Structure 1
Amino acid sequence: MLHSPRLTQLALTIALVVSAPLATAAQPAKGAAVPATEVTANAPLPLDELRTFAEVMDRIKAAYVEPVDDKTLLENAIKGMLSNLDPHSAYLGPEDFQELQESTSGEFGGLGIEVGMDDGFVKVVSPIDDTPASRAGIQAGDLILKINGAPTRGQSMSEAVDKMRGKIGQKITLTLVRDGGNPFDVTLARAVIQVKSVKSQLLESGYGYIRITQFQVKTGEEVGKALAKLRKDNGKKLRGLILDLRNNPGGVLQSAVEVADHFLTKGLIVYTKGRIANSELRFSADPADASEGVPLVVLINGGSASASEIVAGALQDQKRGVLMGTDSFGKGSVQTVLPLNNDRALKLTTALYYTPNGRSIQAQGIVPDIEVRSGKLTTDDDSENFKEADLKGHLGNGNGGADRPTSSTVRKERPQDGDFQLSQALSLLKGLNVTKGD
């Protein structure tokens, strides 16, 4: 039988853990009649369940095969409490919380190296410009044999990356080998590394391509810069643009709104609904149009989730672009990160979001306007075929045009050459311009 003082203390502890973070999250809301947390706080405590909880805790401590302390049991209880709510709510320990902050901000303490695996060794894929790695002369293709004297062979890539990341200013020594030569050491200090979430380029003259890998805090700003650069590189207004959101897992809600706003000049982008007052949000487009209204194709697939679906849904509902690819993931919920003590946090689902037309895509996803499944492109070699211009003594063009014999030049590999979905998107844009008479 449990003693009353222990039960009372445990019940108070649990009540504070449950209610305090939610109360903090509700504070910014103004004009709310009765916050949901106040209702929860005034509800009677379930004493029978608390007695069972305390009894289970005592039984585990007394009978489990190995000693377990109260802190471990309580943390596991919190994790279990959140894991049974939905797949996206979670208790974040210090490392998980820091990793989440780094992924959404795009900044972390590191060396500035993109790495991969090669025959069990960590291999430098590319040093990032203007980082400790590039300034130290580290080159693509270098093998990292050791990190601070510890061999990397046998480690996973994530384990090696974790060791290279760390406190800003802290020094680290890498043992490298280049082109089969002798190993050498490079000592460098970690610095703030900024990972860009947006890549862009001209696929062909007049046709731009923007790829968003994740929605970070600065993604909206990066897309604005990418649009301006594509316009500058093309020398005039683009004839078409492809926005690639494939395999983009989402990220920051505000960034998704900013990205969609670059392509819209009016109307609703997204709205959210939840129980607490500050979860009721509406976001609308402003009149500025960074994309200059160019024809737009948006690529999505089963890996396009959350913030990606917000952008895709807004552009589809507003008839701003053609969605192409396969059904998206179907994550229509919004998570709020609620910091706790000791560098921990709750990631809690607080709302559902809805597209401008009021669609909730939760567990359904967004259906593209044109379904195109992924595949590899193969090209036939046309060099063996002869054309009229290859024949000896052929007649010239009556209009004075130059001859066009079989080409023997090797064309530079382009992104659309090996990507069926991207190639189809580009073909659609070209077709739209043909029908417009451009």
Structure 2
Amino acid sequence: MAGKFKIAAWVTVGVLTGALATLQLQAMARNAVSPLPLEELQQFAAVYGLIKADYFEPVEGKKLVHDAISGMVNSLDPHSEYLDQKSFKEFRESTSGKFVGVGIEITAEDGLVKVVSPIEGSPAAHAGIQAGDLITRIDDTPVKGLPLNQAVKLMRGKPGTKVTLTILRKSENRTFNVTVTREEIHVQSVRGKMVAPGSAWVRITQFQSDTLPDFTRKIEDFYKQDPKLKGIVLDLRNDPGGLLESAVGVASVFLPRDVVIVSTRGQIPEANVSYRNTPSDYSRTPGDNPLEGLPAGVKTVRLVVLVNGGSASASEIVTGALKDYKRAVVMGTQTFGKGSVQTVLPLGPDTALKLTTARYYTPNGESIQAKGITPNYFVDPLPTGDPYAALRMREVDYKNQIGTGVEASDSSSVKEALRKQEEARRLLEAEIEKDPNKFPKLPEYGSKEDWQMEQALNYLEGKPVVTAKMVADAQEKNAKPPAPTSSAGPVQKPAPAPRPAKPDSK
């Protein structure tokens, strides 16, 4: 990265809930600056003065300016943002994978906070908190109905401070308190295991600064366990993104040297860049190559990428590159569709402007903005489908998203699609509220009940893959009067293992 920019900081990609797509460029003074709209600025000053003088109670001037800047930036698109001191600090934490807290991965369940797993070596793990535990109170605050992000904020704090968690452990039918001392936590973004003879599963939860070295170590570990590894499932489901250089590096693990992984195009010259499978584009340390020493077989091993509507930005960069070069089969559901890049421009030591400066393009020159990546095999999270599909927000659902560059974000077809999606979402929310027990819980990723991973393994092992369309056809067929004879349920034979495409001559 250092070879591309004089000032190299972070290069991140993601969605609103994760590390957002960010490209740290050099802040350069422009020779040609658009003239300031003096009349409008005078009007702004007049409004500011009237509020300060005539509002029914005093208003802090700093707050008025902050809100004015935020409104100006937020109106542009969903991902441009003014980062105040607190937001800038949280942003830097999200890209580093480090924060101060108790060290648990959580999700929401029945209005409570469920522990997915304690992070190894964390205060929570030392305190005996287990996967499956439900948190009912955080200090004196009941968790029931509390938004998940608020629960996270309550558990975070300064190092050395204590927080008391009330735990409901259903397996033991008891409730008890645990007092945990907060520490700096390092989030492991890569985990994986051998899931079948000759087949491995590796999951990336977010592309962080240490994701690439962790990922390569995991790949090396797989080959130590089975030198004749036949297939890998790369799980990017619900991965909101992260550091672009990490995404370039992960894709490069499986692709030929020097091929284009992703390119960006924008108004300023610095935003027009191609990122390739070369150490200078994915290594954080000049002269270092984290991919050195990887087994040669990783370039040809059968590969399946699992994605869904929560796979965004950096995840889509990896998926798009592996799909365009026909190096992997993509399985799951349509991805999020965030194909824009933001530049973080520091305004001072503690504040910054995050501004959309470019769209990014897959190696074939395709923009996935507001479209996402279409899987080779559509496979829902359950054999019966995806009962929560209508609830999932995607880039196209944001009214002020920037569009593809071909079709405007406010075109009639986009508006009609949004209207139908919103109606479906409203109906499903009403149905869930009426009878929440009617809807099944989705399986944990990587578990034996994980239907999408089961189909990925079927592909790797040369077995039939059951796709969403085939399930729907079978259900429709079963709903009709029985025919005189019957046949086996529909399946789809896997295609031959894809081979790496030759580098694009462009």
Alignment TM-score, normalising by the size of structure 1: 0.74
Q: Which runs of 4+ in 1 moved over 6 A?
A: 432-436
Shift of 1:345: 2.0
Deviation of 1:76 (Å) = 0.9
Q: 1:374 to 1:434 in 2, by over 3 A?
A: closer
Residue aligning to 1:190 = 182
Partner of 1:13: none
Which residue in 1 is equivalent to 2:309?
302
Distance 1:122 1:305, change over 3 A: closer
Structure 2 CA distance for partners of 1:87 and 1:123, relative to 1, 3 Å: closer
Query: Could you say what secondary structure the match of 2:462 adopts?
Result: helix
Distance 2:197 2:267 in 1: 50
For the pair 1:109 / 2:117, whether they are aligned, the reply is no
2:395 aligned with 1:363: no
Higher alpha-carbon Rg: 1
Tell me if structure 2 keeps the 8 A contact 1:116–1:157: yes
- Does the C-alpha gap of structure 1 residues 56 and 229 become closer, same or farther in structure 2, counting only changes over 3 Å? same
Change (3 A) 1:214 1:25: closer
- 1:284 maps to 276
Aligned-pair distance for 1:39? Answer: 1.6
Q: What does residue 261 of structure 2 align with?
A: 269
**Pair 1:82-2:73 in alignment:** yes
Question: CA contact under 8 A between 1:125 and 1:140: conserved in structure 2?
Answer: yes
Classify the secondary structure of the residue corresponding to 2:206: coil
User: 1:138 deviation in Å?
Assistant: 3.7
Letter in 1 for 2:30: T
C-alpha deviation, 1:414, in angstroms: 9.7
How far apart are 1:236 and its partner, in Å?
2.0
In structure 1, the partner of 2:31 is: 38
Q: Which residue of 2 aligns with 1:344?
A: 351
Gaps of 5+ in 1: 1-23, 28-34, 379-412
Residue 427 (structure 1) aligns with: 458
Distance 2:299 2:363 in 1: 21
1:72 Cα deviation (Å)?
1.2
C-alpha deviation, 1:142, in angstroms: 5.4
Residues 104-137 of structure 1 show CA distances to partners (whole Å, capped at 9, x for unaligned) of 2111011113345666655545332211222234
1:223 aligns with 2:229: no
Aligned CA distance change for structure 1 residues 118 and 209 (closer, same or farther; 3 Å): closer
Tell me: CA distance 1:207–1:336, structure 2 relative to 1, closer, same or farther (3 Å). same
In 2, distance between residues paired with 1:114 and 1:190? 15
Residue 67 of structure 1: aligned partner: 58
Give the corresponding residue for 1:211. 203
Q: Deviations along 1:226-267, whole A, 9 cap, x unmatched?
A: 21122223x222111111222222121111101101111221
Compare relative contact order (CA 8 Å, sep 6+) and give the higher one, 1 or 2: 2
Shift of 1:63: 4.1
Per-residue CA deviations over 1:16-71 (Å, capped at 9, x if unaligned) read xxxxxxxx9535xxxxxxx673322xx43221111111122223334444432211
Matches of 1:261 and 1:330, distance apart in 2: 22
Question: 102-111 vs 351-360, which deviates more?
Answer: 351-360
SS at match of 1:211: strand
| 1:262 match: secondary structure | helix
Contact 2:346 2:352 in 1 (8 A): yes
Cα offsets for 1:263-306 (capped at 9, x unmatched): 11221111222333432332221486652420112222332221
CA contact (8 A) 1:329 1:365 kept: yes
Deviation of the 1:82 alpha carbon = 0.7
- Name which of 245, 251, 255 aligns with 2:246: 255
Checking the alignment, whether the CA contact within 8 Å between 1:332 and 1:361 is kept in structure 2 is yes
- Seen in structure 2, the aligned counterparts of structure 1 residues 84 and 200 have a Cα distance that, compared at 3 Å, is same
Q: State how far apart, in whole Å, the 1-side matches of 2:366 and 2:83 are.
A: 31
Structure 2 partner of 1:326: 333
Greater mean alpha carbon deviation, residues 65-74 or residues 307-316: 65-74
1:367-378 equivalences under 5 Å are 367-368=374-375, 370-377=376-383
What are the ranges of 5 or more consecutive residues in structure 2 without an aligned counterpart? 1-23, 279-290, 385-443, 464-493, 498-506
Q: 1:141: Cα distance to partner?
A: 5.6
Q: What RMSD in Å do the two structures reach over aligned CA positions?
A: 3.1
Alignment correspondent of 1:399 = none
